[in-house]
Structure 1
Amino acid sequence: MKTNNDSLILKNRLKVARAEKNLSQGALAKEVGVSRQTISSIETGQFNPTAKLALILCIALDKTFEEIFYFD
């Protein structure tokens, strides 16, 4: 992993994990208490979720943090 924090970019596999559960963006959003736009923004990398939201997403999708989120 890179040591310069400025070069760490949080990426995710949220779309893949969501598809594995056959959930639409809207359905996942409703389940975790955010808007569909928030889910879309996370999936496209425009928004990084808070630690709390990231963990809620992991629980909803039955995945570990490392299975969904990673640094590139």
Structure 2
Amino acid sequence: MKNHLEELRKARGIRQEDLARDLQVSRQTISSLEKGRYNPSIQLAFKIARYFHLTIEDVFVFEEEQS
């Protein structure tokens, strides 16, 4: 799953450490999310979207697997 987390965070001048603290996750979690190595739980996805005052669809891009 792709996301716009890094660009949203940088556009607002927020450091990974600060976002992680505010969301109560580790900085490594934020880094892994931004690099696409980790898909968030639905709870974390909602927290991120609310943090930026956006919908989940505005932050995360779901791509269906091709068969």
Q: Normalising by structure 2, report the TM-score.
A: 0.87
| Preserved contact between residue 21 and residue 61 of structure 1 (Cα < 8 Å) | no
Bigger Rg over Cα: 1
Question: How far did 1:67 drift?
Answer: 1.0
| Percent of pairs with identical residues | 40
TM superposition outliers: structure 1 runs of 4+ over 2 Å? none
TM-score by length of 1: 0.81
SS at match of 2:29: helix
- 20-29 vs 31-40, which deviates more? 20-29
Whole-Å separation in 2 of the counterparts to 1:50 and 1:64: 15
Please give the per-residue CA displacement for 1:36-72, whole angstroms capped at 9, x wherever unaligned: 0000000001100000001101111122111110123
Equivalent AA in structure 1 for residue 12 of structure 2: K
* Count of residues in Structure 1 that have an aligned counterpart in Structure 2: 63
Structure 1 vs Structure 2 CA RMSD? 0.9
Cα distance in 2 for partners of 1:67, 1:43 equals: 14
Q: Work out the CA distance in 1 between the residues paired with 2:51 and 2:34.
A: 15
Cα distance in 1 for partners of 2:43, 2:20 equals: 14
Partner residue, 1:54? 45
Q: Which amino acid aligns with 1:48?
A: N
